[in-house]
Amino acid sequence: MRESVQAEIMMSFLVSEELSFRIPVELRYETCDPYAVRLTFHLPGDAPVTWAFGRELLIDGVGRPCGDGDVHIAPADPDAFGEVLIRLQVGSDHALFRSGAAPLVAFLDRTDKLVPLGQERSLADFDAHLDEALDRILAEEQSAG
């Protein structure tokens, strides 16, 4: 069984109303973390930046505004299916990206073929991976503190 789905798409990084530029973004979905998708942004002159958030958030955000906290996703035009805005925020800093909806939907369709939405829990090793991730996070926090 295949264990991941990947795609590379172009998104617009919206620096301001007057300035934007296109960047490659890698989308990745892995069965070892079946609830999440990862987007790796390749900004010119910087190291790639990866954000992980819920696959369901991306699915919902293609059709309607959604998200709390650091990630907000919404159609660029609520009356037309065409483009999606992804807003990522850390503290008072934020970045806004615009993507075509079609490549996101194609990617999400491939993730659904790998692990149908609602069937994430059926992965036998998910609990073990979750335990490993939690142990790693706790160890990092203890070594930092």
| Residues lower than pLDDT 70 in the chain | 1, 123-130, 144-145
Please report, to the nearest 10 degrees, the dihedral formed by the alpha carbons of residues 58, 59, 60, 61 taken in order: 40
pLDDT at site 117: 83
Sheet strands (E) in the chain: 4-14, 20-30, 36-41, 49-54, 71-75, 83-90, 93-100
pLDDT at site 130: 66
The pTM of this model reads 0.80
Residues across the chain = 145
